[in-house]
A and B are shown apart, each in its own frame.
Chain A
Amino acid sequence: MSIELKNISKSYGPYQILKNIDLTIKTGELVALLGPSGSGKTSLLRVLAGLEYADEGTILFHGENLTDAPIKKRKAGFVFQHYALFNTMTIRENIAYGLKAKPRRDRPSKKEIQEKVDQLLHLVRLEPYGDRYPSQLSGGQRQRVALARALAIEPHILLLDEPFGALDAKVRKELRLWLRRLHQQVKMTSLLVTHDQEEAFEVADRVVIINKGRIEQVGTPTEVYENPANSFVYDFIGNVNQVRGTISDGLFTTGAFRIPVDTAGQADGIAFIRPDEFTIQATNEQAADRTLSATVTHIHPSGSVIRLELERQDENQNLEVEVTKREFDKLSLSKNQHVFLEAKKVKVFTVN
């Protein structure tokens, strides 16, 4: 089932939290809504579920207009960050809740409900825990119960609100991969809200970057990482060095660093350079344009990637550079050494 959002806007009092959101999610796709806290991503999810209503705009589920439809009609499964399990019911009762709540004419028989619950317990790998209470389960197990409970009513779409936000790093990672596999199995149109870019990139088919109620970029994880649409996206997804400078006559300049840009006229600009997109050189023989001269101030020698902190010589600014262990050994760098950093890939944005 596809989802189409057209021009969705919503305000809480004077604060506009969603501004003209347009988004289409294809059938069977897993899309991540990625943004900082307060960006409106959870509100968008709640509007989709029918827990809140948009002030403006249209929501289409498979072409059917459900903008003002009550929660029930949307047939959405929802997974909350803090599980929201019914702690006075056993795991089985939790999972069966949606089926038992159906009006009598649609309600499956007791035996069918039993079978469905067994099936779902198997799916979330919690067969031995059916008769326990939520308080007797770990966080990761509880979230799997929440997912089974959401799937029990055979929803048309699955909405996940920071589902792994309350879990520790290791469990998060496991559940992430498990969710990815589960999605490949059931192929349900799913929307995942997260503020963790690693999570979004690892799980989703497409990523929607949202900030201050506006969509900044939509694309596959590779597209977004390789080609951030603007300075916000560049800054938000992953570590990046920001070098300030001026643009004039199609050239961005900071100190001795110069690269051509498309922008005409005069403006202030920021160059974005990822830590792994530098080449370190001991000397600057070719006197290349896109080179910064800097001094090594700190070396973090852990893992397969060595992180270096450097200070620019022409200006008081710290840079972060990552090199592979092999390259680091070849250069035999030491603290306080003077080096030249050639930027392999730079993206310049004008500052408004």
Chain B
Amino acid sequence: MVSQNHSEKKTKVKRRQIIPGFGLSLGLSLSYLSLLVLIPLSMIFIYTSQIGWGGFLREISQPIVVSAYQLSFTTALVASLINLVFGVLTAWVLVRYSFPGRKLIDGLLDLPFALPTSVAGITLATLYATNGWIGHLLPFKVSYTQVGIVVALILIGMPFVVRIVEPVLQNLEKENEEASAILGANRFQTLVHVVFPKIRLAAFSGFALAFSRALGEYGSVVFIAGNMPFKTEIAPLVVMQKLEAFDYDGATSVALVLLVASFLILFLINFSQWVVKRKFAD
């Protein structure tokens, strides 16, 4: 996703290849992709198109849907911004310093990827409940509020920024920072003018992926959100409820907006990478 190879531009597939099995392996992977990704996704477009523009707009402009979108987008944005800041910080700490337990922390960071989201949701809801271990220490309510949603989304989006920024930081030439220091820059100037410009693309990619993931997250959020319509009901939950009520038109319409948003984010990531690579790449 992040390191796609743009170098190979072929107008036509070569007839003769050194490595055999090109046709078979391409055919297999394409049909596999079609069955699992392309056909189901296009079904959403096709299904929604049956109700026409008017129907579609009517479905997605229902007050309950609009408020769910607002909630989903704002909580995802807040959570991924927080992940951006702390992800860069975590990556920096893991790459630049060596301390006991560094490897352990590095390994633990992948836990949100592996953890069943419902487990994460239940754990967070209990911990942050008003009588929970952490919740009773806080002056404000977390569980069953919008803050709770943000907490869950931070957890599930945490690894993205760290995992994408980490290798970039590792590959930074130490010489660049040394050159900056010799030219008289202080540590802060070096960070702002030399280090950040090099990791900003990676950080942005991580942020966008975390945002995209947070937008669609369902499992962990439903346990901690409380799911009150107009207050703590997220968009994916609206899709679920509409399905349960056999309102397929409504469900696919709401889903379509989320799908398009994901596509836009992916497009933005790839486009920004393309722009930056064209300008600075060696």
Contact = CB atoms under 8 A, between A and B. Distances in A.
Interface of A: 49-51, 71-72, 76-78, 80, 82, 84-89, 97-98, 101-102, 133, 135, 149-150, 152-153
Interface of B: 173, 175-176, 178-186, 189, 193-194, 197-198, 279-282
B183 A82 contact: no
B179 A80 contact: yes
A88 B198 contact: yes
Nearest to B281: A135
Given A86-B176, A86-B194, A49 B182 contact: yes
A100 to B, nearest CB: 8
Contacts of B179: 78, 80, 84-86, 149
A97 B193 contact: yes
Contact of B175 (A84, A97, A152, A153): A84
Nearest to B174: A84
A82 B193 contact: no
Q: Which 6 A-B pairs have the closest CB atoms?
A: A98-B183, A84-B175, A101-B185, A88-B197, A84-B179, A78-B182
Contact of B184 (A49, A80, A98): A98
A88 B183 contact: no
A133 B280 contact: yes
Nearest to B176: A84
A77 B181 CA distance: 11
Contact of B181 (A71, A85, A135): A71
B178 A84 contact: yes
A194 to B, nearest CB: 18
Nearest to B194: A86
Contact of A101 (B189, B197, B198, B280): B189
A135 B280 contact: yes
B182 A77 contact: yes
A201 to B, nearest CB: 27
A87 B280 CA distance: 6
25 contacts: A49-B182, A50-B182, A51-B178, A72-B181, A72-B184, A76-B182, A77-B182, A80-B175, A80-B179, A84-B173, A84-B179, A86-B197, A88-B197, A97-B183, A98-B183, A98-B184, A101-B180, A101-B183, A101-B185, A101-B189, A135-B279, A135-B280, A135-B281, A135-B282, A152-B183
A42 B280 CA distance: 29
A12 to B, nearest CB: 16
B180 A97 contact: yes
A72 B198 CA distance: 24
B173 A153 contact: no
A296 to B, nearest CB: 48
Contacts of B181: 51, 71-72
